[in-house]
Amino acid sequence: MEVKASGTFDYKTIQAFMRLCFFGSRWKTGPKKKLIIYSIIYAVLALAITAEIVLLEFSPGLMVLLLIIVFLLLWMYFMYFAYPKIHYHALGKMKNITNNYVFTDDTIHLTAASEGYFEETTIRYSYIVKVIETPNYLYIFQTKTQAHIIEKSTITNGTIQDIRPKLSAAVNRKYIFYYDT
């Protein structure tokens, strides 16, 4: 059976991928939840240090610590909100490219096409290093940082349950589920 799917490198897709890459870890909560949790932790730390500086006495060490916490908080918001937009605009010709995938028993056939660009390739399941599945996307990693992005809503001639066993057999324990992205 040949299961077909596709993925388009539009802004929404790149945004979801970049947020998952930056906020992803073995702790299987989604990027939005991590942003909220880290924001609360950093804000509480910043308020506690500010209160200690104001109420007790000024300390250069505490001031440096406060500046580091503020920097980390700003960096985290930059990576969540601005970096996906920067990365999307840096795609150049690859912007809005549509990748069509055909999953067979032992390979994935990929056709990529956009204005001025065309590519056709075959990927063996043994070349896949990691798979991350979210409610909307399936990320198939060929390297630690390069992934094919499949929109789960575009799967035809089958379901995700038809694809999942082939992929999970290829990557063993590196099939990761994120349910709350």
24-42 pLDDT, tens per residue?
755 556 788 888 988 999 9
How far apart CA 102 and CA 65 sit, in angstroms, is 52
- Whole-angstrom Cα distance, residue 38 to residue 169? 34
Region 38-51: what's the mean pLDDT?
Answer: 92
Q: What residues contact residue 137 under an 8 Å CB cut-off, 6+ apart?
A: 7, 13, 16, 17, 149, 150, 151, 152
Angle between helices 60-77 and 31-55 (to 10 degrees): 160
Q: What is the pTM of this model?
A: 0.84
pLDDT at 89 (0 to 100)? 93
